[in-house]
Amino acid sequence: MILRDPVHGLVAFEGLAEEVVGRLLTAVELQRLRGIRQLGFTSLVFPGAEHSRFSHALGAAHVMVRYLERIKATQGILPATERLDEEAEADALAAALLHDLGHGAFSHLSEEVLPLGRPHESWTVDAIMDPRGEVRGILESLSPGMPQRVAKLVRGEHRLGYLARAVSGTIDVDRCDYLLRDSHMTGVSYGVYDLAWLLRALTPAQAPSGDWVMAIEGRKGLPPIEGFFLARQFMYQQVYHHKATRAAEAIIRAIFTRTTELVREGAPPHGTPPALVDAIEGREVAVRDYLKLDDLCLLSAFRAWEESKDATLSELTRRLSRRVLPKTVPLPVGGDADGRWARALREARRIVHAAGLRPDLSVWVDNPSDVPFAEPDDESPDGLWVTLRHQPVQRLGRISFLLGELRNKRIERPRLVFPADFRSEVEAVMAREGLGGSAPTWRGP
């Protein structure tokens, strides 16, 4: 099987990879990912960001093919019990392809706004193990017990620990693909790093715990690894946490807050998906019903809600469809120990309340944050290790000066979000009260 990919170029799944990927591509659960955009509403800011979780799934599987090739080229130093075999290879390919199977609508936002109380990884495991699902049947036909093994791999568990960390770890096939893909599709270069060199820099080694890991080979392997983490940081700063994207997500939170109120009042808006009503009312949602909640389903509901008799819900959905986004102003970083966030929120809500709007559905404090390079302090196999000639393996953060400076530091970007109609009033109050913020800064662990 040969595919053309805008990120990786010519993508070939051959031999075992073709059997595993080719069979799974026919599953309705995997094809569903075509209906979920990778970056949710980021296309409101970066018009090219219309790519789907489906293309990302194929990209992750391609990276896994290359990762497995690197393991097979270097596994001569591994004990026989730690080497790849055909079963483990097939499991890893399937896990890479299926790792987002349970992803909800609007990227990660659905995990916040849908009252389901579970992360997408949990739904992925359920989708893989669903006895009525096509994926489970295909996996079982490929190898007895394969659904259970693949589900464990998605949870980060496998008899070959380095495979589990390749599916869910510090540098895994998911991140390796989405940084390059999201950068390309948004039209920016922040997420570009040298994937070929990064993979070539990996070599088997034993962590102090005794576990075998794919470590970074010597100091020559540092540049691509450092480039990877810098790319990740820049993408979060410039794309994933873009203020306009976060403003759109604030509207969606308000939409679901109002929808939840209406459902609990016994008046669900016309067009509300049954699975969403069940979730709001506390009933269990079956896997098959959850998987129907993709972007297309919820956007159709939003379109119907534009004509809702509820003026608040109608106005919110109309603003989203017409890209009438809230404005934002920065807040002081470092938490709200001095109460300035609370004061800014209170003053802005007072202004919109006087104009007849619901303050809780109009003004918010938004504080997206991220740790670009997280590293454990223990000797576990988690994180990344570096091999140095005639020396014990060491943590990456101890060898790389750059990553040592970033290690376990959190960056925050707190902002006040409010309707654009009130920009002059809100900014005037914030200036008068000294509530303005500064550029994002690093915070230590």
Q: Report the C-alpha gap between 331 and 90 in whole angstroms.
A: 49
pLDDT, one tens digit per residue, over 264-307 is 999 999 999 999 999 999 899 999 999 999 999 999 999 999 99
Q: How far is it, in rounded angstroms, from Cα 87 to Cα 69?
A: 15
Instruction: Say which amino acid occupies 366.
Output: D
Q: How far apart are CA 21 and CA 260, in angstroms?
A: 39
Single pTM value for the model: 0.91
Which tokens hold the place of 273?
């998906």
Domains of the chain: 2-187 (1.10.3210.10), 242-325 (1.20.1250.30), 327-372+411-445 (3.30.70)
Q: How confident is the model at residue 110 (pLDDT cuts 50, 70, 90)?
A: confident
Predicted pLDDT at 437: 60
Would the pLDDT of 163 be above 90?
A: yes
Which residue in 109, 103, 101 sits closest to 31, CA to CA?
101
| Mean of pLDDT values over 235-252 | 93
Q: How far is CA 278 from CA 264, 274, 275, 281, in A?
A: 11, 6, 5, 5
Question: Which CA distances in Å does 398 have to 257, 287, 380, 388?
Answer: 46, 44, 15, 12
Q: For the segment 1-17, what is each residue's pLDDT rounded down to a tens digit? A: 899 999 999 999 999 99
Tell which wins on pLDDT, 439 or 404: 404
In the chain, the largest separation of any two C-alpha atoms, in whole Å, equals 73
* In the predicted structure, residue 116 carries a pLDDT above the cut 80: no
pLDDT value at residue 441:
54
Alpha-carbon distance 27 to 305, whole Å? 32
Q: Which residue has the higher pLDDT, 337 or 258?
A: 258
Flag whether pLDDT at 440 surpasses 70.
no
Is pLDDT of 136 > 90?
yes
Measured CA to CA in angstroms, residue 186 lies from 111, 180, 192, 255 at distances of 23, 10, 12, 26
User: Given a cut of 70, is residue 442 above it in pLDDT?
Assistant: no
